[in-house]
Amino acid sequence: MTWQGKLLHIHIAPAASYEMEELAQAQLVAGRGIVGDRYYLGTGTYSARPDVREVTLIEAEVLDAIAQGEPRIPGFKAKLAPEDHRRNITTRSVPLSHLVGKRFRVGETILRAARMNVPCKYIEELLGLPGLYEGLLNRSGLNCTIEVGGVIRPGDLILPIDE
């Protein structure tokens, strides 16, 4: 698979339900997560259960589609800012659904895509956007583990690793 994507935004939150904070750079630690983030700190909603949420990604193209009302959910259209979707990294031109089980490079780090994220109704309540759950079905992002840690920054390339 040949593609090249870009990291647009990095966000973390210190605990579940806290506002997401945008970062100019982030330190990723293999086996832990993003320094300062709720899953690194063990204060995320799913922290008590073993999971693969060391870092989560979502495509900017999904946000664009929801802003335009796609898929066509009667009466649903929403503009989501990068801090609204609750994922750590917003990407552009990265085929997230095709990466499950694969490794890829983000800046100087290496991530392994574990599984697609499943949306929850909680985000609708948090943002006051009924219909958002359906808008995110099958495109709610990608949950990854960190194999090689390091620093990432907006503008970093995201590249496949040939395996």
Residue 32: both structure tokens together: 């832990």
Task: Assess if CATH 2.40.33.20 describes domain 5-160.
Answer: yes
Predicted confidence (pLDDT) at residue 96 exceeds the cutoff of 70: yes
Q: What is the mean pLDDT of residues 113-125?
A: 87
Q: Where are the domains of the chain?
A: 5-160
Q: What is the pLDDT of residue 75?
A: 64
pTM, two decimal places: 0.91
Say how many Å lie between the first and final Cα of the chain, rounded.
10
Residue 64: both structure tokens together: 């664009």
Peptide bond into 95 cis (omega under 30): no
Compute the C-alpha angle 1/119/26, nearest 5°.
65
Predicted confidence (pLDDT) at residue 161 exceeds the cutoff of 70: yes
- Where do the H-state alpha helices sit in 8-131? 38-41, 60-68, 122-127
